Amino acid sequence: MQATWILPDGKAVTADVKPGQNLMEAAVAHNIPLVVGECGGSLSCATCHVVVDPAWSGRAGEVGTFEDAMLDVAEAERQATSRLSCQIRMSADIDGIVLHVPQP
């Protein structure tokens, strides 16, 4: 399965993601710039903030309560389809998902 990250400069990076792997871990494993994952996925840093491409937002699941609060304090400005990528797990539904990495 795959995901694509669009960097702030417009460059696209597509990488393999294992089923069940969260998209923060996948980004860190593939050295995607600006996706840090400082807290290791425990919902306490917001350094895994991404903006889900609108074409995929309906399939990426709902924003959780803690995730919602953390998105409000993310360094880059929150957008309508912002998510914490540690809270999105790869599955057949989102194979090929496109994520925009916001400029902090």
Per CB under 6 A, residues contacting ligand FES are 24, 37-39, 41, 43-48, 70, 84, 86
In the chain, where do the E strands start and end?
2-6, 12-16, 49-52, 82-84, 97-100
DSSP letter at 28 equals H
Q: Distance between CA atoms of 64 and 44, rounded to whole angstroms?
A: 13
Residue closer to ligand FES, measured from CB, 70 or 97: 70
Q: Distance between CA atoms of 13 and 9, rounded to whole angstroms?
A: 11
To ligand FES, the closest distance from the beta carbon of 67 in angstroms equals 8
Residue closer to ligand FES, measured from CB, 3 or 48: 48
To ligand FES, the closest distance from the beta carbon of 7 in angstroms equals 18
Residue closer to ligand FES, measured from CB, 29 or 39: 39
